[in-house]
Structure formats: C-alpha cells, structure tokens
Amino acid sequence: MGALDGLVVADFTRVLAGPYATMLLGDMGATVIKIERPEVGDDTRHWGPPYDPAGRATYFESVNRNKTSVAIDMTSAEGLAEARELVKRADIVIHNFPPSNSVKFGLDYASVKELKPEVIYCSITGFGSGAGAQMPGYDLLVQAMGGLMSVTGPGPGQPTKVGVALVDVITGMHATIGILAALNHRNLSGEGQEIEVNLLSSLLSAMVNQASSYVSGDVVPGILGNAHPSITPYEVYQTADRPVVIAVGNDGQFAKLCDALGIADVASDPRFLTNPDRVEHRVALNDLLNSEFRKFGADHWWHNLSEVGVPCGPINALDDAFKFAESLGLNPIITMNQDGEARKQVANPITFSKTPVRYAVAPPSLDEA
C-alpha cells in the first residue's frame, strides 16, 4: 500500500517541473494519468542524446515512471470533452499551461472547480500568473533572471548555470509539498483549493542565505567560485593528484584539520581563531592550506581527514557518485522489469516505514494507457 493509494492525478504538465512532481506522487501510490499531444507527446521524448539502449530519451525517462499516457488533442472539441471527463475523475489536477491557455481549454481553476468542487488544483508557471504570465518558463532563463547565475561560476564576471535544471526540480518539489498540504486540508474540511507555484519565486526562496544577505543585510552577493561567502575553509583544494572538498563548519573541525595537516599552531593564529576571522583572512589561510594539501593525493586526505571528523571528500563524476552511494547501502538505482525488459531508474530518495514508495510502471510510451 502506498501513502497516496486511491488518489487520481490528471497530469497536464510537460518537460520537467510538473512531471517531476507527478512522478513523486506516483511513487507514493497515486494513479497518474499523463495527458500528451497526439503523435508528438511531451517535448522531452525528443530531447536527446543521450538515449537508453532501446532508443528512448533518458531525459523523459528520468521523470515519468508510475504514469499512464493518454494522447488528447486539446485543440479539438472532442479532445477538450475527453479532458474534462478525466478532470471529473481526478483528485488532483496539475498543469503548466500559460494562464491564457488554461482559460482557452476550460481548465482554469474556476472551470475545473465547477466540474469537481473538491479538486486540488495546481498550476506551475515560470514567472507567476500576473504581469509575468506570458513569459516563457525555461530553467536557464530563470537561473539568469532569478540571480542564481550571479553567484555561480569560476570567478567574478563569469556567471555560470548550475549543471542540472535545478530550478525546475525545486519548483516540482514545492508543487508536491503544496499538493500534499492541500490534501490534508481537504481531509479535514472537505474543501479543495487552488495552488500556484512559479519558477522565479521557487528559486528566490531556494537561494536561502544568499537571498537573505540581500533581503535582511542589504548585501548583493557575487561570485566566489567554490568558496562560501560566510564559512572558511569551505571550498575546493588541489592535492597532489586531484581536488578535494573541505567543508569545515566550526572551530573544532578547523583545529582538527590543522592538526591533521601538521600545522596545529595555525588554529591558534589570531587571524584564524574564529570563523569570521578566517573569512576575513581567507586568502592567507588558503595559501597555508594549499601548500599542505599538495603534499599528498586526494584519497590520502579523504581517508585521513574523515577519520578525525573533518568533512572531506573527492569530487566524483556521476559514475563514482553512484558507486559511492551503493557502497553505503543506499541502493540509488532500481530496475523495473516490464514486458521482459529491464529498465534502470534512479531511486526515489524517500524511505517510508509503513508505506514504501513503489516502482510499478516504467515510463510509458505515448498513448499507452
């Protein structure tokens, strides 16, 4: 039994933020019906390479398990009638149409509420339903306009996007959280409600300490490469063979680091006594640390520093990252066997003691109900 067994989701989303949210709901037991365009389907069905051994785009595969697919022509009267019938069956309706399209399709909240008063209705946009309603909600665009690129990159004047569509993922998680909260409210009151999430607001919230430095401190942060604006040493250091990350979060860890490096007296240097001192004298401290780290390789420092409680680790490529997770018993990869075919997926990261996530249905072919 899944935590959301018995709930039906009418999923009108495509690309990433919405499909990620509905996959999470499906993993937790909800019945997810993915509505796609005839013949074309979700855009990400065609976003490749890379492809899996059967030629399917791995992008689509990453966020569409535990769903069935229904192809509906939303430009036809027949298609809209079919969509409304699905809405009547659904507990949750989620879409990422531009607001004008949701009205045109008769799938705005007011119209859907008439069909199913107790519905949980979630819309995902790039820049909200007001003045930014018609702006295209692409992750890269929001990373730029929402400030993430302004604090990401190798150095000042070199803004860089994050290596995954992180804003979409964060927004999908916010949509899921909102839906689950609304379901609890419905359980208590019998009332449905409308939920709106957008990529820009989700990013600004997820910028946490960087956003707060502006909102609360009137400081506009910039690019520090791999350094942290408020903690030192908390960055990448080059060893004799490859780089490692050091993530010292308190004075005790710093003393242990200095002792392990053979420079115990540095921990009592007035320039480095406290974290604010270390941040102020970051360059001088890094000069000392770098000269020590270069004496041995990354594995030496990883094992020796970890043993004494100093957060340290190598910079893994994804293959090594998955192997590392496997070595910890985290089981990061699951295999779904369907129609005699084994299809690998990244595991859902949530563990439930009573209602475990399920891996019932591999990502569907178009119109595979």
Whether the Cβ atoms of residue 318 and residue 341 lie closer than 8 Å to each other: no
Tell me, what's the pLDDT at 368?
Answer: 87
Residues of the chain with CATH 3.30.1540.10: 234-238+243-314
pTM of the model: 0.94
What per-residue confidence (pLDDT) applies to 285?
97
Residues forming CATH 3.40.50.10540 domain(s) in the chain: 8-206+332-346
The whole-number pLDDT of residue 337 equals: 86
Residue type, 39: E
Return the H-helix or E-strand segment holding 265: none
Longest dimension (CA), the chain: 78
Q: Verify cis geometry, omega within 30 degrees of 0, for the bond prior to 276.
A: no
- The pLDDT profile of the chain, 369 residues, written as one tens digit per residue, is 899 999 999 999 999 999 999 999 999 999 999 999 999 999 999 999 999 999 999 999 999 999 999 999 999 999 999 999 999 999 999 999 988 888 989 999 999 999 999 999 999 999 999 999 989 999 999 999 999 999 999 999 999 999 999 999 999 999 999 999 999 999 999 999 999 999 999 999 999 999 999 999 999 999 999 999 999 999 999 999 999 999 999 999 999 999 999 999 999 999 999 999 999 999 999 999 999 999 999 999 999 999 999 999 999 999 999 999 999 999 999 999 887 889 999 999 999 999 999 999 999 999 887
Amino acid at 119: V
Q: Contact, 336 vs 345, CB < 8 A?
A: yes
> Residue 88: CB partners within 8 Å, gap ≥ 6?
115, 116
pLDDT digits (tens, 9 = 90+) for 291-312: 999 999 999 999 999 999 999 9
Q: Which residues are catalytic?
A: 168
Six-digit token string for 100: 């004008």
Domain 234-238+243-314 coded CATH 3.30.1540.10 = yes
- DSSP for 214-230 reads HHTT-------TT--SS
Interacting residues of 147 by C-beta distance below 8 A, sequence separation 6+ = 203, 204, 207, 210, 211
For 227-249, how does the pLDDT look when each residue is reduced to its tens digit (9 = 90+)? 999 999 999 999 999 999 999 99
Single-letter code of the amino acid located at 76: S
SS3 of 27-80: the string is HCCCEEEEEECCCCCCHHHHCCCCECCCCCEHHHHCCCCCEEEEECCCCCHHHH
Q: What is the pLDDT of residue 43?
A: 95
In the chain, what is the straight-line distance between the N-terminal and C-terminal CA atoms, in Å?
22
**Cβ-based neighbours of 83, under 8 Å, separated by 6 or more:** 10, 12, 35, 72, 74, 105, 107
Residue pair 168/146 in contact by the 8 Å Cβ criterion: no
Would residue 66 be called left, alpha or beta, if left means φ above 0 and alpha means ψ between -120 and 50 degrees?
A: left
| Phi/psi of residue 162, nearest 5 degrees | -70, 150
**In angstroms, rounded to a whole number, what is the distance separating the alpha carbons of residues 138 and 43?**
13
Pick the CATH number of 8-206+332-346 from 3.40.50.10300, 3.40.50.10540, 3.90.550.10, 3.40.50.150: 3.40.50.10540
Q: Report the alpha-carbon distance of residue 360 to residue 322 in Å, rounded.
A: 23
